[in-house]
């Protein structure tokens, strides 16, 4: 999915909602626990319930890798089940160089045909470049995260700016807004306006809304641009909105509520 198609989906649905499929077998509703295809059945029900409100789905690969071959199968079938008009994200946070990075890019753009993958830039340009060499796909680079440990490095002073600002400046020169996005945590509201100043055209993937305490209205006011320019990820707040047999209905209601709030700004 290219930028034009993503922007068209956002405008059509009046939504920047990304649903995070961080599906844990231990958290499945009771009637799905222990079933060989329980995770897949859960994911399909969530997708069916939220597809009218979401423009993207983010599959956190760790939750599937932990289940071995069975988990990878569920990931593959979940990806195949996504509607053709949504943006798919492999939240894998890969970051290596040379042939290893090439293989990671092949994994998530060819073997598992995601539109995008999250990438850690700590090892420099040659850890990101292989993902940018795949035309029609996106690298979503970690920029400023919402975890407590972000203070350890990202917020260190680097001359007159923070280290995360230097990372954003540098990485933005490696590719265009047509192929590069950045992860910016929603709980870093004080920095969102600064990020948008540094990256006026790039899309931002913004996690941290809901369970992590991020404020959707603050995010929209600080980060939207002329093309919307953001994808707001919500995981637990949607997929675990309900815990019983009606979990999909609860997920639909939660997604609809987020979309309604977003539509005001779109």
Could you tell me the CATH number of the domain that includes residue 124? Answer: 3.20.20.70
How much is the mean pLDDT over the chain? 95
**Is-contact 119 94, C-beta < 8 A?**
yes
- Strand 17-20 and strand 56-60: the pairing is parallel
Give one DSSP letter per residue of 195-223, joined into a string.
Answer: HHHH-SSSEEEE--BSTT-B-HHHHHHHH
User: Does residue 187 carry a pLDDT above 80?
Assistant: no
- For residue 208, what pLDDT band results from cuts at 50, 70 and 90? confident
pLDDT band, residue 132 (cuts 50/70/90): very high
| Residue 61 belongs to domain spanning | 3-263
Supply the pLDDT for residue 212: 62
Which of the residues are catalytic?
Answer: 93
Contact present, 28 and 104 (Cβ < 8 Å): no
Q: Note the pLDDT of residue 195.
A: 94
Write down the pLDDT at residue 227.
96
Residue with tokens 């946070």: 93
How many of the other CB atoms lie within 10 Å of CB of 41? 16
Query: What mean pLDDT do residues 139-146 have?
Result: 94
Helices (H), the chain: 3-13, 38-50, 62-65, 68-81, 98-106, 125-132, 150-153, 163-172, 189-198, 216-223, 236-239, 247-263
pLDDT tens for 213-260 read 678 999 999 999 999 999 999 999 999 999 999 999 999 999 999 999
Enter the pTM of the model: 0.96
Q: How many domains does the chain have?
A: 1
């Amino acid at each position: 999915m290219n930028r034009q198609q993503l922007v068209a989906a956002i405008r059509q649905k009046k939504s920047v909602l990304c649903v995070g499929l961080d599906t844990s077998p231990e958290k499945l509703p009771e009637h799905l626990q222990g079933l060989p295809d329980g995770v897949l059945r859960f994911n399909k029900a969530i997708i069916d319930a939220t597809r009218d409100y979401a423009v993207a789905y983010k599959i956190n690969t760790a939750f599937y890798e932990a289940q071995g071959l069975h988990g990878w199968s569920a990931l593959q079938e979940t990806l195949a089940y996504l509607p053709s008009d949504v943006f798919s994200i492999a939240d894998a946070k890969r970051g290596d160089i040379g042939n290893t990075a090439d293989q990671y890019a092949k994994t998530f753009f060819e073997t598992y045909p995601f539109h995008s993958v999250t990438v850690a830039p700590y090892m420099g340009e040659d850890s990101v470049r292989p993902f940018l060499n795949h035309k029609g796909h996106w690298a979503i680079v970690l920029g400023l995260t919402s975890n407590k440990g972000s203070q350890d490095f990202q917020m260190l002073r680097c001359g007159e700016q923070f280290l995360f600002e230097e990372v954003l400046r540098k990485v933005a020169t490696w590719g265009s807004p047509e192929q590069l996005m950045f992860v910016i945590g929603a709980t870093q509201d004080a920095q969102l306006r600064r990020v948008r100043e540094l990256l006026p055209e790039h899309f931002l993937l913004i996690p941290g809304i809901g369970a992590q305490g991020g404020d959707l209205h603050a995010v929209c006011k600080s980060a939207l641009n002329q093309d919307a320019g953001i994808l707001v990820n919500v995981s637990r707040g949607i997929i675990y909105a309900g815990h019983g047999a009606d979990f999909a209905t609860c997920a639909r209601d939660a997604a609809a509520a987020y979309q309604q709030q977003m539509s005001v700004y779109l």
